[in-house]
C-alpha cells in the first residue's frame, strides 16, 4: 500500500494505472476509520482494479462552533486498517496541497436548494464545504467510481447533483448504513458519547424505525409522526434539530411512494444523524 501526500505524486501514480487500462475507485474519508468506512473500501475493491482512499479533515465543511480542532485524527491506526484491506493507495495531503492559495481565496462549489434544507438549515455553509472538497478530490483522482455512505443521505444527494450538473464523468455509489448490533449507525463521532449516552443512542434509530413501520402500515399523517418522534426524542434526553419525512429524490415534500425519514439530534455533545428510506404504496 502506497501513502502519498503530494498531488503531483498522486497524479503520476493514477496516470500509470490508467496507461495500463486499470479502473480506479475513490473512497473519500476524514479518517478515524471504523467498520463502515472499511465496508466502503471493500465495495471499491469489488468495483475497480485499484482503490484510493483519501484522508483529509476538511476545515471548510465545519461551521462555527463545531469540532474541527477536536475531530479525531488517528492516522496510524487508519493506515493499519487500510493495509489490512489491500488498499492500493492512501492520499494523505497536507492543508496547503488542497488549499494552496489559502481557505479564503479558494473557489467554492454550491448546490442550490439542496444545500439549504434540513442539515443545511442548522449548518449553514456545510454542504458548500463538502461539495468543494468532493469536486477537488474527483478532479485530482478522476476515478471511474466513488463510494459514499448513505448515513448522510442529504450529502449523498448533494454529491449526485453536483456530479450531474457539472458533467463529472464518475459513477457515484451509495453504500447502505453500517450499524452496531443495537442499531446505532456507525460514526466517527460516536466516541464522544459517554457510557450512559451510548446506551441511549440507539433510540434515535428505533424512533425512525417506528415511524417507518407506521408508514408501511398505512400512516399518511407525516406531520403527526414527525411531531411524535420529535417529542419522544426530547423526552428521552436528546436535543432534536429535526425529524422529517421527505421525498427520497429531492428531500422536498413527499409526493410519491418513495420517502426517506431524516433526523438530526444532539445527545450530550454529540450531534447524531440517521435516516431510513421507505417505499410504500397507497
Provide the edge-to-edge strand list for the sheet that holds 258-267. Answer: 239-247, 258-267, 270-279
- Residue holding cell 455553509? 125
Nearest to 123, CA basis, from 169, 68, 66: 66
Torsional class of 21: left (φ above 0), alpha (ψ -120 to 50), beta (otherwise)? left
**Residue 34 falls in the annotated catalytic set:** no
> Which residue is catalytic, options 37, 118, 126, 191?
37
Q: Does residue 246 contact residue 259 with C-beta atoms inside 8 Å?
A: yes
What residues are paired with 266 via a beta bridge?
239, 271
Catalytically annotated residues: 37
Amino acid at each position: 500500500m502506497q501513502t502519498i501526500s503530494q498531488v503531483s505524486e498522486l497524479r503520476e501514480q493514477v496516470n500509470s494505472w490508467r496507461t495500463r487500462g486499470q479502473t480506479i475507485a475513490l473512497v473519500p474519508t476524514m479518517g478515524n476509520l471504523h467498520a463502515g468506512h472499511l465496508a466502503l473500501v471493500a465495495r471499491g475493491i469489488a468495483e475497480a482494479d485499484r482503490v484510493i482512499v483519501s484522508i483529509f479533515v476538511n476545515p471548510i465543511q465545519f461551521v462555527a462552533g463545531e469540532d474541527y480542532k477536536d475531530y479525531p485524527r488517528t492516522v496510524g491506526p487508519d493506515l493499519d486498517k487500510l493495509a489490512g484491506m489491500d488498499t492500493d493507495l492512501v492520499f494523505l495531503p497536507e492543508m496547503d496541497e488542497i488549499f494552496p492559495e489559502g481557505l479564503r481565496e479558494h473557489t467554492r462549489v454550491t448546490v442550490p436548494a439542496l444545500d439549504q434544507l434540513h442539515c443545511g438549515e442548522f449548518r449553514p455553509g456545510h454542504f458548500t464545504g463538502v461539495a468543494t472538497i468532493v469536486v477537488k478530490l474527483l478532479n485530482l483522482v478522476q476515478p471511474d467510481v466513488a463510494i459514499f455512505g448513505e448515513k448522510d443521505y442529504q450529502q449523498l444527494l448533494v454529491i449526485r447533483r453536483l456530479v450531474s450538473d457539472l458533467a463529472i464523468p464518475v459513477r457515484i455509489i451509495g453504500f447502505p448504513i453500517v450499524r452496531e448490533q443495537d442499531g446505532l449507525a456507525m460514526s466517527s463521532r460516536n466516541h464522544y458519547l459517554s457510557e450512559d449516552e451510548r446506551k441511549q443512542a440507539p433510540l434515535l434509530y428505533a424512533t425512525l424505525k417506528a415511524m417507518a413501520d407506521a408508514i408501511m402500515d398505512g400512516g399518511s399523517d407525516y406531520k403527526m409522526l414527525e411531531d411524535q418522534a420529535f417529542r419522544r426524542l426530547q423526552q428521552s434526553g436528546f436535543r432534536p434539530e429535526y425529524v422529517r419525512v421527505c421525498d427520497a429524490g429531492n428531500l422536498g415534500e413527499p409526493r410519491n411512494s418513495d420517502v426517506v425519514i431524516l433526523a438530526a439530534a444532539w445527545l450530550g455533545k454529540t450531534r447524531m444523524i440517521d435516516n431510513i428510506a421507505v417505499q410504500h404504496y397507497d
